[in-house]
Amino acid sequence: MSGKTFYLETFGCQMNAHDSEKVIGTLEQQGYAQVDSEEAADLLLYNTCSIRDKAEQKVFHRLNDYKKLAKAGKRFGVIGCVAQQEGEKIFERAPYVSLVAGSASYRRLPELIARMEAGETRVTGLDDRQTDEAFETEFTARKNPYRAYITIIEGCDKFCAYCVVPYTRGKERSRGSESVLEEAKRIAGMGYTEIQLLGQNVNSYRDPTGKKSFAELLAAVGEVDGIRRVRFTTSHPRDFTRDIVEVIDAVPTLCDHVHLPVQSGSTRVLRAMAREYTREWYLERMDWIKAAKRKISLSTDIIVGFPGETPAEFEETITLLNEVQYDVVFAFKYSPRPNTPSLVMIDSISDEEKSKRLQILLDRQREIQRANYDRRLGEVLEVMVEGNNPAREQIVGRSSQNIPVNFSWPHPIAPAPGSYQQVRITRTFPNSLVGEAV
Ligand code: SF4
């Protein structure tokens, strides 16, 4: 490996994207340079996702597509959730792969890479829920020019019946609040004004130093000099406490947006999913959020067609949509995943029926979302600029409620990405707002 170059492709969620930023930083620290094509790289890495069947297959297709490069002495590594899930089996399916490492082993990456460089052909970093350590590193190659991510908790102890994450990302382990705040100050020093706190269950955060609750940590990050926006994702209803709403009301830099996955509107289905809350418990949290002084935007995740979900239970999910009136819903068809408790349940609902339910849900949500967005006509929102769309002669950005806003700009020079502009909303679309700078 003369020039020590690497190519990294990332699949999946925001956690994976941020893990990749840390993996890149770690490799650069070891003298590697990132390249943007497989052909140009000495080391090809795939940071994988196994949340749904399709995601997993993508990895093996990619490996198969590029196996010819192995003959040219290139090395392959599979990291992330499929690596942890499939482990050594990957070497069987793709013998030219020489590194398989799950996310709970990333802090050992320098050692794993060194062993591969020394000629080992089957290097593994597979941690089955043993480690208590989070992957902390000062070497993070931040790819997003205006939003910086901080993982405050890794892993998951919830064991929802359909989910692979507890098996692929290990047990819940939180970072010390001081280490998080130091990173937030470092980020502000780099000129970032927006921070997004990450975790599979970010609000399950438990400060190992005992100094700060999740709500207190939110407030502290929000009070870091130079920081104008703080987001957090993904929360779990079981750990959603009233003080989170109170701190959003009290600290203006905390964004007025909460993403709280409900997954189903039926208490019986929630029980079968092992979500450990009821419809009523969830709606009580929605009431807390709606009673807040600030107008907090709501989004959620929903699974349709979970084994045994009756048409009436699906209808309960639709009535929950009507009751909550989310701004955004991410909805998916149930798909059985390896090693998960629901694998033994009969996947009783046909794919056709799942598609039908998904369509009904998306159609209803589109109506709700459109009506929500229409209510914003004439409002002036603060938008953080993310770029521009020359084709439409529009500036592209996002409100603090995380809603995409495209707006006209009266000046010849476009506003800089990362700057904040006041925008009056003049038009709405199903998934975005349009306006004019004021
Ligand atoms: S809370 Fe449930 S759905 Fe979320 S990561 Fe954990 S097991 Fe998966």
Q: What is the residue-wise DSSP string for 47-97? A: EE--SSHHHHHHHHHHHHHHGGGGGGT-EEEEEEHHHHHHTTHHHHH-TTE
Residue from 236, 330, 332, 337 to probe ligand 1 pocket by mutation (most atoms less than 8 Å from CB): 236
Hey, whose CA ends up nearest to atom 2 of ligand 1? 160
User: Measured in angstroms, how far is the CA atom of residue 205 from the centroid of ligand 1?
Assistant: 14
H/E element, 14: helix 14-29
252, 148, 257: which is closest to 193 by C-alpha?
148
> At a CB cut-off of 8 Å and minimum separation 6, what does 40 contact?
5, 7
Q: Is the CB of 165 under 6 A from ligand 1?
A: yes
Ligand 1 atom with the smallest distance to the CA of 156 is 6
Chain centroid offset of residue 435 CA: 28
Q: What is the whole-number distance in angstroms between the Cα of residue 234 and the centre of ligand 1?
A: 10
The pLDDT assigned to 56 comes to 78
Q: What does the chain come to in residues? A: 438
d(CA 77, CA 379): 49
CA angle 413, 416, 418 (to 5 degrees): 160
**Is the CB of 160 within 6 Å of ligand 1?**
yes
DSSP per residue, 220-269:
HHHTSTT--EEEEE---GGG--HHHHHHHHH-TTB-SEEE---B-S-HHH
Check pocket membership of 200 for ligand 1, CB cut-off 6 A.
Answer: yes
Numbered ranges of CATH 3.40.50.12160 in the chain? 5-125
Burial class (CB in 10 A: 0-12, 13-18, 19+), 424: middle
Between the CA of 11 and the centroid of ligand 1 the distance, in Å, is 18
Q: State the pLDDT at residue 139.
A: 83
Tokens of 315: 């209808």
Residue written as token pair 């990173």: 183
- What CATH architecture does domain 5-125 belong to? 3-Layer(aba) Sandwich (3.40)
Query: pLDDT at position 128, please?
Result: 67
The CA 232 to ligand 1 mean position distance, Å, reads: 16
CATH number for the domain whose boundaries are 380-437: 2.40.50.140
Q: Which of 15, 156, 301, 306 to mutate to test the pocket of ligand 1 (most atoms within 8 A of CB)?
A: 156
Closest atom of ligand 1 to 236 CA is 1
Rounded distance between C-alpha atoms, residue 201 and residue 222, angstroms: 19
Nearest to 7 by CA among 44, 47, 33: 44
pTM, 2 dp: 0.93
Structure tokens belonging to residue 405? 């806003």
The answer for residues whose C-beta is within 8 angstroms of residue 285's C-beta and 6 or more apart is 237, 240, 260
- Does the beta carbon of 156 lie inside 6 Å of ligand 1? yes
pLDDT one digit per residue (tens) for the chain, 438 residues: 446 999 999 998 999 999 999 999 999 999 999 999 999 999 999 999 987 777 778 888 888 887 888 878 899 999 999 999 999 999 998 999 999 999 989 989 999 999 999 999 999 999 767 777 777 777 889 988 899 999 999 999 999 999 999 999 999 999 999 999 999 999 999 999 999 999 999 999 999 999 999 999 999 999 999 999 999 999 999 999 999 999 999 999 999 999 999 999 999 999 999 999 999 999 999 999 999 999 999 999 999 999 999 999 999 999 999 999 999 999 999 998 888 999 999 888 999 999 999 999 999 999 999 999 999 999 999 999 999 988 888 999 999 999 999 999 999 999 999 999 999 999 999 899 999 999
Q: Where in the chain is the domain with CATH 2.40.50.140?
A: 380-437
Ligand 1 atom 4: residue of nearest CA: 200
Q: How many CB atoms lie within 10 A of CB 354?
A: 21
Q: Which atom of ligand 1 is nearest to the CA of 200?
A: 5
Residue 156 CA, ligand 1 centroid: distance in Å: 6
Ligand 1 and 166: CB distance under 6 A:
yes
Q: Is 15 in the pocket of ligand 1 (CB under 6 A)?
A: no
Answer yes or no: is the C-beta of 202 below 6 A from any ligand 1 atom.
no
3 state DSSP class of 173: strand
CA of 421 to the centre of ligand 1 (A): 36
Q: Closest ligand 1 atom to the C-alpha of 159?
A: 7
Going from the Cα of 150 to the center of ligand 1, the distance in angstroms, rounded, reads 19
Q: Candidates 16, 159, 168, 303: which one to mutate for ligand 1, based on the most atoms within 8 Å of Cβ?
A: 159
Q: What is the DSSP string of 264-306?
A: -S-HHHHHHTT----HHHHHHHHHHHHTSSS--EEEEEEEE--
